[in-house]
DNA sequence: GTAGGGCTTCCTGTCACTGGAAGGTCAAGG
DNA sequence: CCTTGACCTTCCAGTGACAGGAAGCCCTAC
């Protein structure tokens, strides 16, 4: 018995919709049964697992495409993989820095806000440029 | 002389496109000159400044709409503002936590990758489930 | 009068899906 | 044999917050 897309979805932990989408954009290419249902080979399952993990680490679909190509290429240089990873690590670090700055500013404002029934509010003052 | 949208954009630090978009979704409502050009009052400039800062702190457009309404409402309770801010702070914290987890996992994998010309790569192994 | 820059609207594209409609397929139960 | 319900299929629209670009009007300077 072939695994249907629902079975694969459960096994991999990705929604069926997402798997169809990955096929549509050419990340996987499952076979078809005579009834039109998708047929997933082991290689498809491996790719989908790979994609699920890469996406969970925050790689873009474009990065995933690159990484998947490297994954499939037995003659790859690990430096190519590492370069993609390090670029992504730098992006993550930049995002964390941004978020921490936002958090610092906003928590400072919130701390000064009494948060009661009165209209006076340092948060709004801060936002309006006060 | 009225300020045109380009002048306002420079002054506030938002692209003109963004200001038009904010008008389209009802966040601001500038007047119009006889030639069709937008005319920005002081109150429009204040609102746009407010929006720019709120967006820079990561508030969604929907939150901005709420905050702007509170900003305009002289009878607001500061607790309402603070609630929005604290919800957003919690979201920021969650995002930072997620990003830090991704960073930890990926930097660990990257550290083990030699990054040379050989095909052997712990990053790909980690992604494929190894 | 013409060249340029800015303004206007409108339409499309981005990213990575998600939701939903319309219709085909399959196994189980009556 | 028929139905029911849970699958599967495709296709279309919407999300958030804009950005890019085309076509055409306006205004100033030379």
Query: How confident is the model at residue B129, as a pLDDT?
Result: 79
CA pair distance A84, B18, nearest whole angstrom: 32
CA pair distance B127, B130, nearest whole angstrom: 7
Structure tokens at B93: 């914290």
| Sole residue written with tokens 């949208």 | B5
Q: What is the mean pLDDT of residues A104-125?
A: 97
Taking the CB of residue B73, how many other CB atoms lie within 10 A of it?
12
Average pLDDT over residues B33-48: 97
* Token code pair at residue A9: 């979805």
Which A positions 28-87 lie with beta carbon below 8 A of chain B? 46, 49-50, 53-54, 56-58, 67, 70-71, 73-79, 81-83, 85-86
With a CB cutoff of 8 Å and minimum separation 6, the contacts of A97 are none
Question: What pLDDT is stored for residue A55 in this prediction?
Answer: 98
Alpha-carbon span A122 to A112, nearest angstrom: 6
Instruction: Give the integer Cα–Cα distance in Å for A19 and A8.
Output: 9
CB contact under 8 A, B88 and A106: yes
Strand C nucleotides within 7 Å of a protein CB: 6-9, 15-19, 25-26
Rounded to whole angstroms, the Cα distance separating A75 from B118 reads 8
Query: Residue A39: enclosing H or E segment and its boundaries?
Result: strand A38-39
**Between A61-72 and A42-56, two packed helices, what is the crossing angle to 10 degrees?**
140
Give the best residue of B82, B97, B109, B125 to mutate against chain A (max A CB count within 10 A).
B82
The C-alpha atoms of residue B80 and residue A9 are separated, in whole angstroms, by 42
How does pLDDT run across B82-124, given as a tens digit for each residue? 999 999 999 999 999 999 999 999 999 999 999 999 999 999 9
Show me where the domains of chain B are located: 1-58, 77-130
User: What span, in angstroms and rounded, lies between the C-alpha atoms of B105 and B20?
Assistant: 42
Indicate the fold that domain A1-58 takes in CATH. Multidrug-efflux Transporter Regulator; Chain: A; Domain 2 (1.10.1660)
pLDDT tier for residue A129 given thresholds of 50, 70 and 90: confident
Structure tokens at A125: 């003052």
Q: Across the interface, do B77 and A118 touch by the CB < 8 Å criterion?
A: yes
**Reduced to 3 states, what is the DSSP secondary structure of residue A23?**
helix
DSSP character string of A82-123: HHHHHHHHHHHHHHHHHHHHHHHHHHHHHHH---SSSS--HH
State pLDDT tens for residues B45-86.
999 999 999 999 999 999 999 999 999 999 999 999 999 999
Q: Is the pLDDT of residue A1 over 80?
A: no
The pLDDT confidence band at residue A130, using thresholds 50, 70 and 90, is: confident
Q: pLDDT band for A125, please (50, 70, 90 cuts).
A: very high
């Amino acid at each position: 018995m072939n695994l249907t897309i629902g079975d694969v979805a459960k096994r991999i932990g990705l929604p069926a919709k997402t798997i169809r989408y990955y096929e549509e954009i050419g990340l996987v290419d499952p076979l078809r049964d005579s009834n039109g249902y998708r047929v997933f080979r082991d290689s498809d399952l491996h790719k989908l697992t790979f994609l699920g993990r890469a996406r969970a680490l925050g790689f873009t679909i474009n990065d995933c495409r690159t990484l998947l190509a490297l994954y499939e290429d037995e003659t790859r240089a690990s430096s190519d993989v590492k370069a993609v990873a390090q670029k992504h690590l730098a992006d993550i670090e930049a995002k964390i820095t941004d978020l921490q700055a936002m958090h610092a500013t906003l928590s400072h404002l919130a701390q000064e806000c009494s948060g009661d029934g009165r209209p006076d509010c340092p948060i709004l003052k801060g936002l309006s440029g006060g």
